[in-house]
């Protein structure tokens, strides 16, 4: 039977359409499986990595594996001050000003504005993610570092954090020579080399004025005691410990023990919040139970344990808990 010419054309067009669709479907279904395998593998890899906190074997920020740590750890509170996060809550400002009260403090916001015209105003170390593995050594000042021969190990870390006077010259074999970040306050200030970041821990508005002065005019020579009028440091690497983070450490991690945290504990908390693996050296007493600094020969008074403002025992217990929960690694020294 013959079809009219018009129906033949429609039937032919329909047949071509069916053949085209079938060919497309066939090629989609039976295309090279290796292409799909690698696409799927890379997609799986990306998905897997996005779920990891860092590229280290074990990451500090993995809070979900421990309720005690998860309850305390808050990565949204940044340790370092910038213009943007320098606005303090009324509660934080009152607490911070109370630490070392000033008779006539300068206007805080004006001082901050002036300070960040001289030092960098940028958010640092907020690059945590599945491709980063930042290793950090926090080096305390305990006498248990004497003879420990940790120097080469300490120098192998990405960041090496020291505090206050902490000399390295003459002690390199035990404490290392490298310093990337040195925490201090005006009364514990020392000169630094050009490659080290000075991290100022301010206790009052005058401390912010002091660092500005110490880097420029040298006019401030006294806080509650005599302080260096000038300091050698790279102004492009000066950082300010945030008063908001300061209070967070006191409230959340120390639960109000002591008047305020020690420089050592503040240094540890800085590392816990900006590093992926944290190792701690030079904390606690030596093997004989003595509390003293590694550069002191005869002082076994335990002065930096019993200061009246820090609860050294509680701080050390929290540090041990972090070690027990594998959030940090403790090197006990001698």
Confirm or deny that 17 is annotated as ligand binding. no
Residues 119 and 20 in one domain: no
Question: Is there a single domain that holds both residue 41 and residue 83?
Answer: no
* Residue 56 lies inside a defined structural domain of this protein: no
Cβ(144)–Cβ(282) under 8 Å? Answer: yes
6 marked among binding-site residues: no
* Residue whose token pair is 């514990």: 188
State whether 46 and 155 are in the same domain: no
Given 182, 273, 292, 310, the catalytic residue: 310
Residue 248 in marked binding region: no
- The closest of 121, 46, 124, 212 to 200, measured between CA atoms, is 212
Collect all residues with Cβ–Cβ distance below 8 Å to 44 and sequence separation of at least 6. Answer: none
Return the SS3 of 26: helix
Residue 93 has a pLDDT of 97
Say what the pLDDT of residue 4 is.
47
Structure confidence at residue 309 (pLDDT): 83
Annotation-wise, does 224 bind a ligand? yes
For residues 24 and 167, membership in a common domain is answered with no
284 is in an annotated binding site: yes
Q: Which residues pair with 162 in a beta bridge?
A: 182
Can you list the residues of the chain whose pLDDT is less than 70?
A: 1-51, 298-308
Residue 205 lies in a domain: yes
3-state DSSP assignment of residue 112: helix
Whether residue 125 lies in the annotated active site: no
Q: How many domains does the chain have?
A: 2
Q: Which domain holds residue 33?
A: 5-51
Pick the closest to residue 83 from 109, 51, 103, 49 (CA basis): 109
CATH of the domain at 68: 3.90.1480.20
pLDDT at 310: 83
40 is catalytic: no
Query: Does residue 57 fall inside a structural domain?
Result: no
pTM (2 d.p.)? 0.82
User: DSSP code of 187?
Assistant: G
Three-state DSSP state, 206: helix
So what's the pLDDT on residue 299? 54
**Interatomic CA distance for residues 79 and 62, integer angstroms:** 18
Q: Is 100 annotated as a binding residue?
A: yes
Q: pLDDT at position 10, please?
A: 56
DSSP 238: -
CA dist 6 and 1 (Å) reads 15
Q: Which tens digit of pLDDT belongs to each residue from 77-99?
A: 999 999 999 999 999 999 999 99
Same structural domain, 26 and 112: no
**Which residue out of 260, 273, 292, 294 is catalytically annotated?**
260
């Amino acid at each position: 039977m013959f079809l009219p010419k018009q129906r033949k054309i429609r039937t032919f067009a329909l047949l071509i359409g069916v053949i085209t669709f079938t060919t497309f479907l066939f090629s989609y279904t039976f295309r090279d499986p290796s292409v799909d395998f690698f696409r799927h593998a890379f997609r799986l890899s990306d998905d897997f990595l996005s779920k990891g906190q860092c590229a280290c074997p074990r990451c500090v920020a993995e809070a979900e594996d421990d309720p005690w740590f998860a309850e305390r750890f808050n990565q949204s509170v940044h340790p370092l001050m910038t213009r943007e996060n320098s606005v303090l809550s009324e509660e934080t400002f009152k607490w911070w000003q109370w630490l070392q009260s000033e008779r006539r403090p300068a206007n805080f916001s004006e001082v901050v504005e002036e300070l960040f015209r001289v030092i960098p105003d940028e958010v640092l170390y907020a690059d945590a993610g599945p491709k980063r593995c930042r290793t950090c050594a926090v080096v305390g000042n305990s006498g248990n570092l004497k003879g420990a021969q940790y120097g080469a190990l300490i120098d192998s870390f990405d960041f090496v954090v020291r505090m206050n006077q902490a000399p390295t010259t003459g002690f390199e074999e035990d404490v290392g020579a490298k310093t990337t970040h040195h925490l201090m306050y005006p009364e514990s200030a020392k000169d630094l080399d050009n490659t080290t970041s000075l991290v100022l821990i301010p206790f009052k508005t005058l401390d912010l004025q002091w660092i500005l002065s110490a880097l420029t005019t040298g006019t401030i020579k006294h806080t509650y005691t005599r302080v260096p009028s000038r300091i050698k440091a790279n102004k492009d690497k000066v950082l300010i410990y945030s008063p908001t983070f300061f209070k967070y450490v006191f409230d959340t991690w120390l639960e109000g023990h002591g008047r305020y945290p020690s420089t050592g504990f503040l240094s540890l908390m800085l590392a816990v919040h900006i590093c992926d693996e944290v190792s701690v050296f030079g904390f606690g007493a030596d093997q004989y139970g003595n509390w003293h600094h590694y550069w002191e020969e005869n002082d076994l008074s335990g002065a930096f344990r019993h200061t009246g403002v820090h609860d050294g025992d509680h701080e050390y217990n929290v540090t041990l808990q972090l070690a027990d929960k594998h959030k940090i690694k403790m090197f006990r020294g001698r």
